Amino acid sequence: MTAETQLHPHSGFADTAAEAFPRDDAGREHRALAEASADMATGPALPQEHVWWRTIGPRSPARRGVRMPWVADPSQRADRTASAESPGLEAAAEAVIARTPAPMHAHEFDIECLAVTPETPEIMSFTFRRRDGRPLGFRPGQYLNVVFPTDAGPRERNYSLSSSPTDPAAFRLSIKREDSGTVSRWAHHHVRPGTVLEALGPLGGFHLPDFDRRARYLLLAAGVGVTPLISMARTLHALDGSADVVVLHHASTPRDFAFARELRILDETDPRFTVRFSLGDRPSSDWRGLTGRLSADALGALVPDACGRMVFACGPPDYLARARAVLAKLGVSPVSFFTETFDDTTTAEGTGAVDATGTGDGRRAAEHTLRDSGTRPAGGALTRDAAPTAAPPQRDSADTRPWITFARAGTSAPVEDGDTLLSAGRRAGVPLRSNCASGMCGTCKVGLLSGPVEMKHAGGIRQREIDAGTILLCCSTPDGDVVVDA
């Protein structure tokens, strides 16, 4: 192995998650977290925060593959109920099916914080409920777009749901505090039980399939990228079936492993799971587990059958780029590799992360800035008086194509037949933010200053924003010349 892929000299791959994350170290970490959060207001204990796991015997999962509760049919329910092999598991499976709501289409609703839980010194989990009393139906891996009333004004951010849809009493968002992050710092300081926020969702195509007869997965997480993957892990654990799941969680220090205790318990109580932790290329003197950056040698030793699995990876762009290269060396097909990044992008189309629908959707942002169309006053309406006067498009009089003018950039460009406004702008060299190109994430919101457009979005924009003249560049096509506030 090269220097960057070596393991810590005092250990190889850990035999159990407890070896990779020693119990004594974990105990010290939990005590440190408890001391750091001693003055934090918290709400009542919630079932999903404490007793979400169950012990599963080696022979318990009798059915092949995994089926999400919302696609189970009556005949399959009857088969499960009649099964005498593991009646306790059958009853548990029926209970999961009965309480799990079907995934919802993206819509707006208010959420109220119920509890605040420290995960690491930098990551906090916020447990919410819908204020209208309805459960939130979503797929494991999806996210919410939330409006935070920061001191600098309302700001929107996308955060993954880190809880499982199989326990609909409440849901959880886990947020890492960034030193330069306006929203994350505000959330850590101000969101407490009773705080009410506006949300839009569920959103995103990065999620487990509804039905998978093979159900063989590799989950790769770097830092706070574990948040959508812990939702997947919790869900797979709650469901019956013969899944085979390997989780590899990278972090910078032993203190930075979010959900470490839950993942250790999962590894120890569910034979379908194998969980490993790695410090990457920052070894610690008291760490006895895996170290070294992600590499084909190390991953191949841990998961020899990686090329036969669906791979879900979440982390910063450089981690995902490395994972893509490593998995290609191991023979993993691109159609089996799904990623989500927590950085936004202004790069050209086709270079973003690939989602579970194959649309190039890297939707979730740990701390990204959405570009508002003008200013947003306290009432929430959008105004455009901050935009400069746009110069008229300059083109040949015989050119019948519609043109788009970017008022702030001072650039005009033709829009080819079938192109979106985003495509036209990027081809003209305008730096435009977009993560999904499918109308889901809302990252490319701009104000429409003039001209007719047709927008076919997938829930990434609120109706009040549409009414105020906001559009999504990635899913809008012009019906004539248009001017946008970008």
Task: Indicate the pLDDT class of residue 428, thresholds 50, 70 and 90.
Answer: confident
CATH number reported for the structural domain that contains residue 435 in this entry: 3.10.20.30
CATH number of the domain where residue 269 is located: 3.40.50.80
pTM of the shown model: 0.70
Residue 371 lies in a domain: no
Is the confidence at residue 279, as pLDDT, over 60? yes
Domain assignment present for residue 69? The answer is yes
The average pLDDT across 408-428 equals 88
Number of domains in the chain: 2
pLDDT value for 431? 82
418 plus 274 within the same structural domain:
no
385-409 exposure pattern, b = at least 16 Cβ within 10 A, e = fewer: eebeebeebeeeeeeeebbbbbbeb
Of the candidate ranges 77-91, 123-137, 342-356, the one whose mean pLDDT is the lowest: 342-356
Taking residue 439's Cβ as centre, other Cβ atoms within 10 Å add up to 22
| 345 and 408 co-located in one domain | no
Q: What pLDDT score does 348 carry? A: 34
Q: What percentage of the chain carries pLDDT values higher than 90?
A: 47
The pLDDT value recorded for residue 350 is: 33
> Confidence class of residue 122 from pLDDT cuts 50, 70 and 90?
very high
Does a structural domain hold residue 136?
Answer: yes
Do 196 and 296 reside in the same domain of the chain?
yes
Query: Rounded mean pLDDT of 168-196?
Result: 94
Q: Are 239 and 93 in contact (CB under 8 A)?
A: yes
Least confidently predicted of 179-193, 291-305, 420-434: 420-434
More confident position, 435 or 232: 232
Residue 393 lies in a domain: no
Over residues 19-41, the mean pLDDT reads: 38
Q: Find the mean pLDDT for residues 40-50.
A: 37
Give residue 50's identity as a one-letter amino acid code: H
Instruction: Provide the residue range defining the domain that includes 291.
Output: 1-366
Q: State which of 346, 366, 386 marks the end of a domain.
A: 366
Same domain, residue pair 322 and 412: no
Tokens of 448: 């429409």
What per-residue confidence (pLDDT) applies to 285? Answer: 79
The two tokens of residue 205 are: 């195509």
Average pLDDT score over the chain: 77
Asked if residue 420 and residue 335 are part of one domain, the reply reads no
Mean pLDDT of 38-52: 38
94 pLDDT higher than 80: no
**Are 141 and 73 in the same domain?**
yes
**Lowest-pLDDT range, 66-70, 96-100, 218-222, 473-477?**
96-100
Q: What is the pLDDT of residue 396?
A: 72
Judge whether 343 and 320 are in contact, CB under 8 Å: no
State residue 288's pLDDT score.
82
Q: What pLDDT sits at residue 449?
A: 92
Cα dihedral: 33, 35, 38, 44 (round 10): 40
Neighbours of 343 (CB within 10 A): 17
Q: In DSSP terms, which residues pair with 308 in a beta bridge?
A: none
Domain edge (last residue) among 366, 394, 429 = 366
pLDDT-wise least confident of 122-131, 207-216, 463-472: 463-472
Same-domain check for residues 348 and 415: no
pLDDT(357) > 50: no
Domain match, 276 and 340 both: yes
Q: What is the mean pLDDT of residues 200-225?
A: 94
In the predicted model, is pLDDT for residue 170 greater than 60?
A: yes
Same domain, 345 and 441: no
Q: Per mean pLDDT, which range of 269-273, 330-334, 392-396, 426-430 is the poorest?
A: 392-396
User: Is the pLDDT at 227 greater than 70, yes or no?
Assistant: yes
Between residues 326 and 64, the one the model is more confident about: 326
The partner residues of 127 in beta bridges, in order of sequence, read: 115, 172
The pair phi, psi for residue 204, each rounded to 5°, is 105, 145
CB atoms within 10 A of CB 32: 14
pLDDT band, residue 14 (cuts 50/70/90) = very low
- Tell whether the model's pLDDT for residue 29 goes beyond 70: no
Q: With respect to residue 19, please indicate whether it lies within any of the assigned structural domains.
A: yes
What is the reported pLDDT for 482?
Answer: 93
The predicted model gives 72-95 an average pLDDT of 53
State whether 90 and 196 are in the same domain: yes
**Lowest pLDDT segment from 88-102, 121-135, 161-175:** 88-102
Residue 377 lies in a domain: no
64, 137: one domain = yes
Burial class of residue 367, CB neighbours in 10 A (0-12, 13-18, 19+): buried
Q: 357 with 460, same domain?
A: no
**Residue where a domain stops, chosen among 340, 366, 392:** 366
Domain annotation covers residue 131: yes
Give the model confidence (pLDDT) of 145-168 as tens digits. 999 999 989 988 899 999 999 988
Residue 410: left if φ>0, alpha if ψ -120 to 50, beta else—which one? Answer: left
User: Span 455-477, mean pLDDT?
Assistant: 87
- Note the maximum CA span of the chain: 78
Q: Is 34 part of a structural domain of the chain? A: yes
* HEC string for the chain: CCHHHCCCCCCCCCCCHHHHCCHHHHHHHHHHHHHHCCCCCCCCCCHHHHCCCCCCCCCCCCCCCEECHHHCCHHHHHHHHHCCCCHHHHHHHHHHHHHCCCCCCCEEEEEEEEEEEECCCCEEEEEEEECCCCCCCCCCCCEEEEEEEECCEEEEEEEEECCCCCCCCCEEEEEECCCCCHHHHHHHHHCCCCCEEEEEEEECCCCCCCEECCCEEEEEEEHHHHHHHHHHHHHHHHCCCCCEEEEEEECCCHHHCCCHHHHHHHHHHCCCEEEEEECCCCCCCCCCCECCCCCHHHHHHHCCCHHHCEEEEEECHHHHHHHHHHHHHCCCCHHHEEEEECCCCCCCCCCCCCCCCCCCCCCCCCCCCCCCCCECCCCCCCECCCCCCCCCCCCCCCCCCCEEEECCCCEEEECCCCCCHHHHHHHCCCCCCCCCCCCCCCCCEEEEEECCEEECCCCCCCHHHHHCCEEEHHHEEECCCEEEEC
